Chain A
């Protein structure tokens, strides 16, 4: 919202010595965030009033003309201009004198086709004073304006505009007009606040206006009055200037008055053309406030049509809609050039109803923006009085011809709220006196009665709609005016024990460290949402997925059950640019069929289960068996976490996108804690991925609870070890894990077994493979003799030959 410093001066004295930047800062610190402060003259410093002495055609350009312009200097300036606006000799207009910067744009002395231009004739638009969509026009000044006068003086642009962030005052309905801001400034600077007290309306008797509110739950008050004899014309300059200053476009006197009152008091009001309220009997106007019928149609004054529903509130006269309550008037009842008799409305509507209507219809207005904030219903009266006062002032012929209708049922909870001084001090952390507290509250319009060690505080109407209702709210009022910067920062003492670390956090940290810094995987983050199209292409069954009711991206309405689909997509995208892609992600997945956390402390209803998964994905254009790299990474994570006795075994999944020849599950005590697989090459083709890809998914939230110590210290051995390398040929289906198991069982003297080569191809029969192991023998009791070793080793080889039909290689 734009606020004019001059306008504020109507209600609170702000000395010239008060710098506008300081004012903005003080407002920010104590009340609302000021985004920008701008002098109206900013960017117009080099623009003066000049008189056109002569105009000639440019000899070489059909579009340009050459003017000699008297700008109050010794000699006239030669200035080239185009065809955008009409210019004639003798006209006094705005001239930017080169060199200068006009609204951020440099204006320099230039030569166009041999002709020098020493400045620019400026349109209102170029001065930044009118919107681009308004008619192009240059300012025109009277004869009595001295040439060379800065245009900012000539146009009266001596105001300072304060731009307040609307988001910072959504909870402060009282601040949406100048009077509310002035009230804050009066409290900040301890200055007197002028009373907002327009004269009482002198009722007329010609017309009887009656209001019937059918739905008082959404319309707490409706006031209306009829004024006759208005003459629609442009507003006087002072009024136009004020509206322009706050970014509004002057329309005509009556519309301008409604806007003025809205920006003055923060209360939207509306003016109807009384002729537009058709169907009324002579001397009688009936207004009814009711919900629309389903599919009821209206045309609002911006000439757009709307189909309404039962929840939209209408203002009607003789059952014909005349306004969409709080949002916008209807076209047929709007004020136009011939309007003579008007009805002013000042009403109070339910904020939620207005917001929903405005959202549903996509129709936002300055009025709806304010009604959404819970405006003070008592301001109906002041705003109506102000509107009538201004109308009578602007149209001396006009007079009030009706009673002032006032249908109301609103309630305000003004308290009193009891605020104990002890409570206040405890919350602020500051010794604050009763006198200080009372002073601040009273400056903000609260009424305070003192009781022993506490205050009884009555909330003013403009703060009582939702903003201030409990003692804590009063603490805020006092503290913000006292100044948050004046409160000393002291760390709270803490007597609790140091916090225990969550196993889930530790597991994540370990996994990240191992994968990124040992196994050179890069961490990625993905959306929790999935595209059904992608899942279907993969071959994933989407029937179990939780769906979003209102996905932002229409292509991602599903809530993920796995990490692999997004990872697979990451791999595909990166493979366009890289030969190797190694990614992992840690994140939650969502399974509706499994029980999760409670939805409420006392409810037995449960949320979907949300396990923390670790996803690992890898592809290398040169690696035809990426499974092994991913499995190695998964093992490293489990080992580093100290997960004991996990088993990786062949696994088969009933889906076609999994390469079941290269698929494994990870088990701990028979429970699956992860799956490692390559994708089936045919399925990858469906996804336009030309290279082998492997993925693993580990259930980190389960693994975290199985974590132990990754280090198992053994005393340094006393006796020497003997190492034997063996190589043998077995059937290709032989399984390393089984061989290791059998080896371990075959001899008590085996200390360690390490596979160091697997080979198939030349010199190995088809359907077979050669495997090579390093076996270390050691006794804890003595130094083994070579005889003992040979005997033991022969036993081991015998077992391999027997159980695995292994043929030893030389």
Chain B
């Protein structure tokens, strides 16, 4: 019996060596350890017929052999498993640079929408209510309420689109038409402070070329409160530009004229590309013209339902179209309204 055990042990080892995969391993297991007629199992069964003394000795020995074989079997199993895994890696290797097919089409948002969204988000976080209003507007809200004298050149048909059969209506030449509308909407008869931003589409009677459009987009905002001063104006705009560009910006005010503010300013921002050294972007000036702004004219506050003795305001406006052109170095303003997918799908 001893010899049989030895023989089986030798035989098992020999055959185990030849096993190359899980199938062979399974066959081997069946052959030797099958409960019904495994070779090893048969020997174990034979133990019953032996005397107690021999049974003990042989039992001990059979157990040792079994342990040894099981150990070898497990090693082999791990070896095969590793090889199988390595094989899968090899066999199923793919081109990781290949894109997903079929290609999934992507949609795009208009670059002005993206610029506007960003501005709206920053302004909203600063406490501004965001609104829009009529694009076809009365002369009153576009000009009269904003301290434009009757004979101001901007009111001429050279600059503004008027509506046939109703000379009091025009396509708004700026989003400033919203100033008086929003003051009246939110100031509870001139008793409450208001912060509002109102980006939108505007229209000027201008011949088209690479730098001129008759339809473009502006972002404007105002703050009315009890004590608004020039320092506040600078701080609010700086904060907005900081949000827009994601870093501190240097700005400067210089005199500028708009009928609805007094004093009025142009604001320049120190060029972000060259930090004021002068480069192509800022036309070697070190500064980039950003926006027009000012303290709200008392006549406008009055039209908005405020007492200008008690209330004061700041307002500022910038071109969203221009902002997008600067941001992406877009060479021709006409692209924005072209509906051309070759342009639109770049954003």
Using CB atoms and an 8 Å cutoff, list the residues of chain A in contact with chain B: 28-33, 168, 170-172, 351-352, 355, 359, 426-430, 470, 472-473, 475-476, 479-480, 484-485, 487-492, 494-496, 498-502, 504-505, 509, 512, 515-529, 546-553, 559, 566-567, 569-570, 573-574, 577-578, 580-583, 587-588, 590, 596-597, 599-601, 607-608, 610
Contacts and interface: CB of A to CB of B under 8 A. Distances in A.
Interface string B104-146: 1111111011000100100010011111111111101100000
Interface string B152-182: 0100111001111101110100000000110
Nearest to B297: A472
Given A517-B107, A524-B344, A527-B215, A429 B263 contact: no
A552 B253 CA distance: 34
Interface in B253-286: 253-257, 262-266
B334 to A, nearest CB: 11
A570 B263 CA distance: 44
A368 B164 CA distance: 30
For B112, B120, B234, the residue with the greatest tally of chain A CB atoms inside 10 Å of its CB is B234
Contact of B135 (A512, A566, A588): A588
Given A496-B195, A516-B108, A550 B161 contact: yes
B29 interface: no
Contact of B312 (A427, A524, A608): A427
Interface in B68-90: none
B37 interface: no
A485 B133 contact: no
A578 B341 CA distance: 9
A298 B168 CA distance: 35
B232 A492 contact: yes
A168 B130 CA distance: 31
Contacts of B326: none
B190 to A, nearest CB: 12
Given A470-B298, A524-B339, A487 B214 contact: no
Instruction: List 3 A-B pairs, minimum CB-CB distance, nearest first.
Output: A429-B229, A476-B263, A570-B339
A359 B156 contact: yes
Given A501-B130, A524-B110, A599-B138, A487 B231 contact: yes
Nearest to B193: A496
A29 B181 CA distance: 33
Given A489-B234, A552-B205, A472 B298 contact: yes
Contacts of B252: 29, 484-485
Nearest to A498: B127
A490 B112 CA distance: 30
Nearest to B227: A426
B67 interface: no
A429 B158 contact: no
A20 B130 CA distance: 45
Given A33-B266, A492-B223, A494-B195, A499 B104 contact: no
Given A430-B231, A501-B124, A546-B136, A520 B192 contact: no
B138 A522 contact: no
B184 A472 contact: no
B32 to A, nearest CB: 46
B230 interface: yes
Contacts of B107: 515-523, 582
Interface of B: 104-110, 112-113, 117, 120, 124, 127-138, 140-141, 151, 153, 156-158, 161-165, 167-169, 171, 180-181, 184, 192-195, 201, 203, 205-208, 214-215, 223, 225, 227-232, 234-236, 238-239, 252-257, 262-266, 295, 297-298, 305, 312, 336-337, 339-342, 344-345
Contacts of B140: 599-600
5 contacts: A429-B232, A487-B230, A516-B109, A526-B337, A601-B305
Given A526-B337, A607-B134, A33 B297 contact: no
B171 A499 contact: no
Contact of A472 (B120, B265, B295, B305): B295
Given A485-B252, A500-B129, A427 B295 contact: yes
A566 B215 CA distance: 15
Main secondary structure of the interface of B (DSSP, over half): mixed
Nearest to B215: A527
A548 B255 contact: no
A573 B108 contact: no
Nearest to A523: B110
A573 B339 contact: yes
A601 B230 contact: no
Contacts of A499: 124, 127-130, 195
B337 A550 contact: no
A602 to B, nearest CB: 10
Contacts of A475: 262-263, 295
Contacts of B263: 472-473, 475-476, 479-480
B257 A522 contact: no
Contacts of A480: 255, 263
A67 B162 CA distance: 65
Given A485-B253, A546-B164, A548-B161, 17 more contacts: A31-B255, A355-B153, A430-B231, A492-B223, A492-B227, A500-B129, A501-B124, A523-B108, A547-B163, A548-B164, A549-B161, A550-B205, A552-B214, A574-B341, A578-B341, A597-B134, A600-B141
Contact of A559 (B138, B163, B231, B236): B163
A484 B253 contact: yes
Given A496-B193, A499-B127, A500-B129, A548 B171 contact: yes
A684 to B, nearest CB: 18
Given A428-B230, A472-B295, A588-B135, A607 B169 contact: yes
B339 A552 contact: no
A520 B104 contact: yes
A126 to B, nearest CB: 25
Contacts of A517: 107
Contacts of A476: 255, 262-264
Contact of A492 (B128, B151, B228, B253): B228
Given A528-B201, A553-B208, A573 B340 contact: yes
A582 B225 CA distance: 46
Contacts of B134: 596-597, 607, 610
A512 B109 contact: yes
Contacts of B257: 168, 170-172
A172 B181 CA distance: 30
Contact of A600 (B109, B128, B138): B138
A526 B113 CA distance: 13
Contact of B105 (A172, A505, A528, A580): A580
Contact of A610 (B131, B135, B214): B135
Contacts of A495: 193
Contacts of A428: 229-231
A569 B340 CA distance: 11
A489 B112 CA distance: 29
A599 B168 contact: yes
A517 B114 CA distance: 13
Contacts of A524: 110, 339, 344
Given A30-B255, A502-B131, A546-B136, A523 B344 contact: yes
Contacts of A599: 138, 140-141, 168-169
Nearest to A483: B253
Nearest to A588: B135
A213 to B, nearest CB: 20
A524 B347 CA distance: 11
A24 to B, nearest CB: 10
B109 A566 contact: no
For B140, B215, B339, the residue with the greatest tally of chain A CB atoms inside 10 Å of its CB is B339
A470 B309 CA distance: 13
A516 B312 CA distance: 42
Given A499-B128, A502-B130, A484 B230 contact: yes
B262 A473 contact: yes
A607 B136 contact: yes
Given A588-B135, A610-B135, A489 B235 contact: yes
B109 A553 contact: no
